Amino acid sequence: MKKHRFIFSKESKARMAEYGSENELNRKAAQSDEQAKRPQEAAKTTECVVPPAASAGTAPEPAVPEAAGPFAAVSRTDVGKMRANNEDSVIMGKRLFGVADGMGGHNGGEVASACVRDTLLTLLDDKEPDPKLLKRAIIEANRKVYLQQLDNTELSGMGTTVSVVWVHDVSMYVGHVGDSRVYRLRKGELNQITDDHSLVMEMARSGMITKEEARSHPMRNVITRAVGTNTEVDVDVLQVVREPGDVWLICSDGLHDMVEDDKLRELLLDRSIAKAADLLVKEALDAGGRDNVSLVIVRDAEGQG
């Protein structure tokens, strides 16, 4: 099943109006001048280089952090069973971990997700974790992707989700745009930490449909926020206190669309994160592998004391 994403295109506006979601459009239109001006002000500086083709298969193995207390991370990315290309990028820094799920014609999705990965790692991974810095870096990544497609009609319409965790001494900072997800397994309970910026989940949050209906809704792949599709981006940044034993799962919809939360929990419980990562990818593929499957798992052994 080929995904169709509409990011405030004419189609999405028509659809959102149809579903009574004009408030979202109005809210975005009223966003602060500061954020709206930023892309133009900074337009002289760098662009991302077009990356090599995204690789399928297993991504780099665990980062070995030194500065933020003991934790370990693994990642996997797989092209899946239906797609020709892998448009996802995994983000595996020293303290910064996540996924970006690109979209757009030609190789635009790969370019967009890789651009965001590279921008965030460059701007953040050697810095002291800070929520404002995280937000600014995602806004800067948005600017780079947006400018790049202005210069290249083949990349027109490209964009990407991004969901990252940034490990600080006692806190986990979460940065998020789009419908990739951050989950946390704590004391056996799995919680989705991020809100999906998708049309169906906004409909579910407003009570128009149930979460169960959202899960099988034909428009469940329509996202309402993305990085790089517009001059501005609305970024969610959260701060969560770390607890020993927490397990964080950051994944693209190629995993969470194919595998129910209960199954994610079951596969994360009581095993090594490397084994869990393998089992999660296998589960998504066995369920049909309709999309690229990418995930990062971080196991936290640090707490407040």
Closer by beta carbon to Ca ion, 124 or else 145:
145
Number of Cβ within a 10 Å radius of residue 42:
14
Residues binding Ca ion (CB under 5 A): 101, 252-254, 291
Give the number of C-alpha atoms closer than 13 A to the C-alpha of residue 222, restricted to the C-beta side: 22
> Least distance in Å: CB of 118 to Ca ion?
19
Minimum distance, C-beta of residue 254 to Ca ion, in the bound complex (Å): 5
Structure tokens at 292: 């690229």
Residue closer to Ca ion, measured from CB, 118 or 291: 291
- At its nearest, how many Å lie between Ca ion and the CB of residue 216? 17
Contact of 105 with 154, CB cutoff 8 Å: yes
> Is the Cβ of residue 72 or residue 82 nearer to Ca ion in the bound state?
82
Give 140 or 291: the residue with its C-beta nearer to Ca ion: 291
Residue with tokens 């996540």: 98
What SS3 class is residue 264? helix
Residue with Cβ nearer Ca ion (101 or 232): 101
Q: Which residue has the tokens 């998708």?
A: 198
φ/ψ of 227, rounded to 5, equals -95, 125
Residue 112 CB, nearest approach to Ca ion (Å): 12
Distance of closest approach, residue 110 Cβ to Ca ion, in angstroms: 12
**177: enclosing H helix or E strand:** strand 171-177
- Rounding to the nearest 10 degrees, give the CA dihedral for residues 105, 107, 110, 111: -100
